[in-house]
Structure 1
Amino acid sequence: MPLITPSRVRRILLALSAAGALALAGCASTPDAPQETQDASAAAPQSTASGECVYSAGGRPASRPVDAPPAEPKATGEVPATIATSAGDLTVTLDADSAPCTVNSFLSLADQGYFDGTTCHRLTTAGIFVLQCGDPTASGRGGPGYSFPDELSGSETYDAGTLAMANAGPDTNGSQFFIVYADTSLPPAYTVFGQLDEASTAVVAGIAAAGTASGGPDGQPKSPVTIESVTN
C-alpha cells in the first residue's frame, strides 16, 4: 500500500475539488469522497417547487419498505435529534432552515424506523475523515427508493462534527449520510443538514481511532457501529 505523505494528501484533495463526485472505491489506497454507489439508471429528481420538496422515484427498489416524505416540510429552525448507536448516543442539531427537504426526509425515514438496526458501512482515515451510514444493506448501494435535489449554497465546509448527505452525483440524495469526525476538505457538493456536539464528535473519532477492518484508509470500521434508533 503506498505511503500517504502530506504532499500526496494535498494532491488527493486538489483532485477531489477538480473532479467533484467520485464513485465509492471500497478499500482503495486513496479514499474517495463520501459517495453512494448508485446504478447509472437511477432517475434524476425534478426541480424543487417553491415551498415544497420533490422526492422522485429512484432507479431501484427501496432497501426497506418506506413511504416517501410529505412534500411540505413541517420542521423549521434548529431541530434536536439523537442517533443512538452501539458506540454511544450522538446528539445532533438538524438545520431545517438551510436544508428543509433534507431534514424532512431524514426525519421521515427516522420516524418509519428505516435506520434502526443498520450498520455504518464505511470509514475513511486519510485525506478525508468521515463515517458513512444510512444504508440498510451496508453495501453502499442501498437507498429509500427515492431521490431528491441538493440543498447547497456553494459555501459549505466540512469541519469536525458536520452531518452531511452522501450522494452519487448532483441531486441524487437518498438515505446515506456521513459524519465528519476531523476537519475535512471537500468540494461544496454535499448537503450539510446538521451538526454533532463536541462529545458526540469525540465518540465518532474514537471509532475512527480503531481504524478499518482491513487496516487500510477506507473500508468498514474495525469496531462495528450499528444505529439502534434515530429520534427527535
Structure 2
Amino acid sequence: MAAATMALAVTGVGSALTWMSVSLTTLDADSRPQAACSYTATERGKPTDIPVFDAEKAARPLTATLVTNRGEVTLKALTGDAPCTTNSFSFLARKGYFDGSECHRVTTRGIYVLECGGAKGDGKSDPGYFFPDENLDGADYRAGTVAMAKVTPGRNGSRFFISYADPDVGMAPQWTPFAKVVGGMDVLQEIGVAGTSDGSTDGRPRKPVVIESVALR
C-alpha cells in the first residue's frame, strides 16, 4: 500500500511486502460470473500451474477449513463476488500447495492480520501464475475478512491474509476480499495476542503457525 493512500503504511518483514485490505461482502450463492478469469504464467510457471476456470463450477458455494498446528479456521468463500480468486484458492488447496506452509506475518497495531499462503513461508512464494484484482467496490477491513496479499497492484498469487480484529485506521479498498471467517476466530485472536517473535508490531508470529492441510467442501 502506498503511503499516500492513507495514514497507514505497514513495513514489510524480510522483503518489500506492501499491505492489504478486506471486506465482508455478502455471498450470493446464486450469482454467476459472466466473464472468464485471466491467469498469467510467471517466469517459473508451467502449464500445470495454471488454474482452469469454469464459470458454473466457480459459482458454487465453497467452504474451506485451514487445519493448522494452532487449531482449525473455517472460511466461507465469496464465490459470487470473487469467482476468479476463489477458483484460484480452491485450485491451490486441492493440489496441496498450502500443506505444510508457515504463516509468515502477524500485525498487531493499526491493522490486525495474519498473513499466510506462501509455500516457503517467507512471503515471497510464486505459485507459477498471477491474476488481477476483483471485488474491490465497497471493500472494508473488519474482523473475519480474508483477502489477497500482494506486492504489485493487480498481481495476486497465493498469499492471503485474515483479519482477526477490526482495524484502528481507515484503509483504501485495494486488496481482493474473497472469504470470511465462520469458525475459529478464537484461534486467530490467540495468535494475534501472542504477538511477534521479536516483539515488534509487524513480524513473524511468536509461535510458528503452520497450515497442515486445507479441507474443502
TM-score clears 0.5 = yes
Equivalent of residue 144 in structure 1, options 105, 116, 127: 127
Distance in 1 separating the partners of 2:10 and 2:191: 24
1:71 to 35, 50, 53: 53
Correspondent of 1:121 among 104, 120, 130 = 104
Alpha-carbon distance in structure 2 between the residues aligned to 1:117 and 1:208: 20
Assess if the C-alpha contact under 8 Å between 2:49 and 2:129 holds in 1. Answer: no
Question: CA 1:52/1:24 → structure 2, altered by over 3 Å: closer, same or farther?
Answer: farther
SS of the residue corresponding to residue 156 of structure 2 reads coil
Paired positions, count: 201
Separation in 2, partners of 1:16, 1:32:
13
Q: TM-score, normalised by structure 2?
A: 0.83
Q: Distance in 2 between matches of 1:125 and 1:195?
A: 20
Indicate which of 67, 77, 85 corresponds to 1:102.
85
Question: Are residues 52 and 27 of structure 1, via their aligned partners in 2, closer, same or farther at CA, if it must alter by over 3 Å?
Answer: closer
Work out which structure has the larger RCO, using CA pairs closer than 8 Å and 6 or more positions apart in sequence.
2
Q: Distance in 2 between matches of 1:53 and 1:192?
A: 16
1:78 aligns to what SS in structure 2? coil
Q: Tell me which residue corresponds to 1:215.
A: 199
1: CA distance, partners of 2:4 / 2:165: 17
Matched, 1:187 2:172: yes
In 2, the alpha carbon distance for the partners of 1:144 and 1:77 equals 24
Does the 8 Å contact 1:27/1:216 carry over to 2? no
User: Gapped runs of 5+ residues in structure 2?
Assistant: 22-32
Alpha-carbon contact 1:211-1:221 (below 8 Å) kept = yes
CA–CA distance in structure 2, aligned partners of residues 27 and 115 of structure 1:
20
Unaligned runs of 5+ in 1: 1-12, 36-48
Cα distance change on mapping 1:220 and 1:65 into 2, 3 Å: farther
CA RMSD of aligned residues (A): 2.9
Identity of matched residues, %: 41
Question: 1:163 touches 1:193 (CA, 8 Å); kept in 2?
Answer: yes
After TM superposition, where is structure 1 displaced by more than 6 Å over at least 4 residues in a row? none
Partners of 1:168 and 1:111 lie apart in 2 by 25
Structure 1 residue 200 displacement after superposition: 1.3
TM (normalized to structure 1)? Answer: 0.78
